[in-house]
Structure 1
Amino acid sequence: MDPKRTTRATPSRMAMRRRGRDKGPGRAPSLADRPRRGSYRIRWTLAGPRSGFWLDYRVARIALVHDIAGVARIQAQLLREAGHEVDQIPLSELGASLSWPAKALAIPLRVAAYVPAIGKLKSNRYDIVHIHWLSQGIVGLLLGRPFFAQAHGSDLHVNMRNPLVRRVTLSVIEKARTVFYVTPDLPAYAPGFDQKFSYLPNPIEIDDQAEPPPMKVARALIFTRLAPVKGVDRIFPAADRLRGIVELTALEWGPLANEYAQRYGRLVRFVPPVPHGEVGALLSQFDVVIGQMSAGSLGLSELEAMAAGRPVITGIDWSLYPKDPPPVIAAADADGIVAAIEKLRHDEGELARLSRDGREWVRRNHGFERHLQLLEAAYFGPGASS
């Protein structure tokens, strides 16, 4: 399909699906007009002087199992707006906060707690079962029917280092129809499954009424979980050198939060994490955001900051983004962070460029419309989404 035509058509299609009340021969079918759940693809033509092309559609009943960082909640919203029937099925997190080996001892209890969810999945004739977090993919193995799995990060790079969980994780990858991954670094942790993995970037909401770009750098936010896997040991050594240049704030969040608050409390203001709905308001208080330093890819924190129009300094592996490099400032350690802030301090033009280009990059790669297109194409085939 012509990319320009797709761009024009998509909002109208989404709007018609939501309303279902457009008049004329080209209206989108209402739920009453469409086939029952699980039925096959139907087609209609968009009316209009320049239309006449076809759009494929399928009404499906979809189960989204478990949720990570609200991603399944957003997917449910998008799929419902597209006309599908969606059930969100939570799973017990019994023992999830324990450390090894106590966590291993809790595994049988947790699997037993999954039985009601498995029963619901078996008793309802879902067309699509989509399970978030590879460890929870054991539900798909016990279900005994095709399923999709979605990897979010440590369920790959941590699981694959643990002999017990590694075996379960590999079984889930082998049995799943498709394994979605949310950041481009993840497939490297499970080599040999290139044909099974499918890139599904995290969906990010972009507020059209964004805050204006910063004009200088006076306040910086360390916007990442305080954990070794985030490379925070490369970030906080910059705090002493940044004192007097910027006011530095960090989230008191993660396994190292108490230790870092005690060690750097005189240099960094620590604030509690906020609910997702308040993230935009939090980010608007800062001129620049410092993200994680070790993964090489952009996580939810960095993406949320870019969507809010905040320039981002982060550890980035450019080879992971060969087609569309993200407009961020690369830094690998404290020296890089200090140099980036010094460079940006009074460069109003660069701050404005990073703010504008960052939002547009997120819209292209992580916007809701794009996410729905990728999701429907994976579920039903490439022709299923415009």
Structure 2
Amino acid sequence: MAEPVAAPGRGVSPMRIAEINDIASVATEIGAGLRARGHTVDYFYPRLVGAKLHPNIKPITGPIRALDWVDLIRRIRAGRYDLVHIHYAYLGNIGALGGFPYILHCHGTDLRGGTFVTRPLIANAIRQARHVFYSTPDLASWVLPLRPDAEFLPNPIDTAVFAPRTPPSAHRSAWVACALTKVKGAERILRACRLLAERVPDLRIDAFGGGEFTKAFRALPNVTLFARHPRSRLPQIIDEHGIVIGQARLGSAGMAELEAMACGRPVVTWFNERGGYSEPPPFFSAVDGDDIARIVERLANDPAARDRAGDAGRAWVERHHGLERIVDRVEAVAQAIIRGEPVPAAPAA
């Protein structure tokens, strides 16, 4: 359930918006917020045939995806939407081909994972969008050369759902919130877990299995791996742990780290994009496995520090990633585009 969002202010006209695709529930959260303000929002989900194939093999699915895009364009035209909000960079070409006014929302892998086939499509989608959002500060270097007016829009966090039910001091255990993959720095987290097995052998560490480092994690005596649960179970899983370990390579916070912080948990992660916010987030930033182990050990032995960090983190998420703030911005940008007016300047993140 999305947190309550204020009704639209004076001068805001009801809009018909099509949300295409959903990455990390961002479209769902924004759409729910817009609906609460009286706007009509419908969701469209591309089939994404072959999404899990190797990037060099994916082009063979092109004809099937083209047919899917044609069908999406037909359905969007039939809906007579004022604006289309597209999530995932290359999918912006649906808007370009359909001739719709569209906002393009970039999320990370859609830019970092580009290939010689998709990069021209991504560039075209970015250039033709009426406005471009990107979800983490590190993506600026990918987007701004093509669109200097692109804007960092923090991902909305449903702080009513992702909320602490118990204090972190009630649990002496750690949760690895990221995938066990190289791109997330799993080898650094693996080293931290090995060190913690020696230094704090009674500290339980849990994680979802999946990724190329799964076998190595499963072999550790202090790590328990679980099958993936429905997203609705995530708040409870986070709340059952006193410490959360996030990605250790990308340098930016994703939804996993932010949702854990909203749950009032201290989050140990590698974060080096402090300039992306007007107020740096209170992560425990760790550059390698030794750092992660040192910080986790200290937090495991200091329940009061876990509570202080958890309170500070949740308050920061409410200030910078609260749903109302994000919906305010999407609504203002959409209204300007529909009216043919310049997009208003963005507030400080």
**Does TM, normalized by the shorter one, top 0.5?**
yes
CA–CA distance in 1 between the matches of 2:94 and 2:118?
14
Which of the residues 103, 110, 115 maps onto 1:148?
103
Q: What 5-or-longer segments of structure 2 have no aligned partner?
A: 337-342
Q: What 5-or-longer segments of structure 1 have no aligned partner?
A: 1-10, 18-42, 44-54
Alignment partner, residue 204 of structure 2? 247
Q: How much has 1:177 moved relative to structure 2?
A: 0.9
Q: How much has 1:342 moved relative to structure 2?
A: 2.5
Q: How much has 1:184 moved relative to structure 2?
A: 0.8
Give the aligned residue type for 1:316: F
Cα separation, partners in 2 of 1:302 and 1:276, compared to 1, 3 Å: same
TM-score, length of structure 1 as denominator length: 0.81
Say if 2:171 is the partner of 1:214: no
Alignment partner, residue 339 of structure 2? none
Say if 2:189 is the partner of 1:226: no
The answer to whether the 8 A contact 1:141-1:172 is kept is yes
Cα separation, partners in 2 of 1:13 and 1:322, compared to 1, 3 Å: closer
Give the aligned residue type for 1:355: G
Q: Over the residues paired in the alignment, what is the CA RMSD in angstroms?
A: 2.4
The answer to whether the 8 A contact 1:63-1:89 is kept is yes
Alignment partner, residue 361 of structure 1? 316
CA–CA distance in 2 between the matches of 1:175 and 1:218?
50
CA–CA distance in 2 between the matches of 1:205 and 1:335?
33
TM-score, length of structure 2 as denominator length: 0.89
More displaced 10-residue stretch of structure 1: 214-223 or 353-362: 214-223
State the secondary structure of the residue aligned to 1:316.
coil
Q: How much has 1:345 moved relative to structure 2?
A: 2.7
The answer to whether the 8 A contact 1:222-1:291 is kept is yes
| Percent identical residues | 33
Give the aligned residue type for 1:213: P
Highest CA radius of gyration, 1 or 2? 1
Cα separation, partners in 2 of 1:138 and 1:247, compared to 1, 3 Å: same
- Figure out how many residues of one structure are paired with residues of the other and give that number: 335
Alignment partner, residue 335 of structure 1? 290
The answer to whether the 8 A contact 1:219-1:246 is kept is yes
State the secondary structure of the residue aligned to 2:232.
helix
Deviations 1:255-313 (A, max 9, x none): 32543345x34341101222221111001111100000111111000011001111100
Q: How much has 1:82 moved relative to structure 2?
A: 0.5
Q: How much has 1:100 moved relative to structure 2?
A: 3.2
Say if 2:239 is the partner of 1:284: yes
Q: How much has 1:385 moved relative to structure 2?
A: 12
Q: How much has 1:179 moved relative to structure 2?
A: 1.3
Deviations 1:222-251 (A, max 9, x none): 110122111111111111221115111111
Which of the residues 209, 226, 237 maps onto 1:271?
226
The answer to whether the 8 A contact 1:376-1:385 is kept is no
Alignment partner, residue 212 of structure 2? 256
Give the aligned residue type for 1:226: L
Say if 2:137 is the partner of 1:184: yes
Q: How much has 1:213 moved relative to structure 2?
A: 2.3
State the secondary structure of the residue aligned to 1:185.
helix
CA–CA distance in 2 between the matches of 1:296 and 1:121?
37
Cα separation, partners in 2 of 1:105 and 1:12, compared to 1, 3 Å: closer
